[in-house]
Amino acid sequence: MSYLSDLIGAILPKLGESAPALNDAINGFRTAITDTLDKLSNDDNLRIYDDNHGGVVRGPKRSRQRNHRENQNGVLLCNITKFNNCHEVSYFRAVFNLPRHSFNITTKTEVRLIGYESPLMRKVIDTSNPDINARTIACDLIGLTSDNQVLCIEGKVKPHGRATDIVYGLLESFAYGVCVEYFLSDENRRASFEQEVQFCLRDFHGQAEVLNSKVKLPAAFTLAAPREYFAEYFNPTQTGTGKKHGNLISQLIEAEQLLKAFHAIEGPKWAGFMIMDTPCTIKSFNKARNNPREINVIIRKVAITKTYVEPHFKSEPFKVDLAWDISELRNLIGT
C-alpha cells in the first residue's frame, strides 16, 4: 500500500455515513495531506521548483530523459507493452502529446498541459523523510486554463477495479488539488510554484510563453476518462453478474456523496467530470507516428533494453465535454 492509497482506504468505509460525518472524514483526509507537506516544508525537503533536477510539476530529470524528446517540445514516450494493451499510461500520454499540448473544454477555455505524472511531494533529498515517497502522490496531468487556474487531472480508462473506479479517482484528483492549493496558500511557496509553472510553459510550449499574471486561486481538480468509461456505469457491457452491476450503481451513489462533500468544505474547486470522446482502443492511435525505438534502462542496477513508442491519437480535433455532477454526466452519456 502507498501513502495515498492508505489515506483513501481509510475514507472508503466512511462512504454511506451521514453528510456531516463524511465531511469530517474528507476534511481529515485534506489535513493529513497538508500535514505531510508541512513536514517536508519544515524540514526544508519540499522541492517545489528546481531548474536542474525538477520540481513538483515536471518531475525528476532522469524520468524526463527517458520520456522527453528535446527536439520536439516534450513528446512523451510509452513502453510498447502498455501501448498495445491500451493502458491508462499510453492513453494519457497521448493526451499530453496532442498538438500544442493543449485542448479546449469550452469554446472560451483552453487547457495548456504543463505537467505529466507530476510528483506533488517532490523531495530535495530522497534519503531524508524516508516515510514519504514523493512518487506516491503523482498527478497524471496538470493543465493551466486560459484564466491561469491550475487544473489537476486524474485519468482513468477501466471502471472495473477498486483503484481505477470513479470513487477512487475522485479522491485521487481531490488529493492533487489539495497539494496545489497548499503551494498557493503561502507567498514564498506560491512564488516557487509560479516559477515551476513558468519553466514548464517555456519547456513544453516554447520560449516565448510567459505566465502573464499570478496563478489563480482556488486550484481545480477533475476526473478525466474516455466516454466509454463513464458509459459503463449507466449502460454496463462487462458486468457479467448482477453483483458487478450493483457495484457500479453503488459507486455512482458514493461519487454523488463525495461531490457534495467537496462542495461543503474548504479546499480546491471541483471542475467537473471530463468526458473525452476519443476511445481507449488501439484503433484510436496513429500507428504511423509510433516511431518505435529501443532504449536502455536500468532496473535494479541491471541494464535492460526495452522498446518505446510515441502515443498519438489518430483523429483531430480532440473533443471534451464537461459534466458538473452525476445527473449531468448521465444526460451527456445517455442511458
According to the model, what pLDDT value does residue 177 have?
97
Give residue 244's pLDDT.
Answer: 59
Mean pLDDT in consecutive groups of 10 residues from the start of the chain, 335 residues: 86 91 95 95 92 78 48 71 81 92 84 93 87 83 92 94 93 97 95 92 76 82 96 76 67 95 94 94 80 60 70 85 94 83
Q: What is the DSSP letter of 235?
A: S
Residue 26 pLDDT: 96
Residue 207's pLDDT is 64
H or E element: which one contains 296?
strand 293-299
Taking each continuous run of H as one helix and of E as one strand, the counts in the chain are: 10, 10
Q: Please report the pLDDT score of residue 34 as a whole number.
A: 96
- 311 contacts 93 by C-beta, under 8 angstroms: yes
- pLDDT at site 63: 47
Strand-pair partners of 278: none
Say which DSSP state 123 is in.
B
Its pTM stands at: 0.91
Spatial contact of 133 and 204, defined as CB atoms under 8 Å apart: no
pLDDT at 220: 96
pLDDT for position 239: 46
Q: Which residue has the cell 494493451?
A: 85
Q: What angle do CA 63, 115, 61 make, to 5 degrees?
A: 25
Provide the domain limits for residue 257: 3-333
Contact 269, 220 (CB under 8 A): yes
Give the containing element (helix H, strand E) for 224: strand 216-226
Half-sphere exposure in the Cβ direction for 10 (13 Å, CA): 14
Report which DSSP code applies to 208. T
Number of domains forming the structure of the chain: 1
Nine cell digits for residue 186: 503561502
Tell me the H-state helices in the chain: 3-11, 19-42, 61-67, 80-84, 88-96, 166-184, 187-205, 227-234, 242-264, 326-333
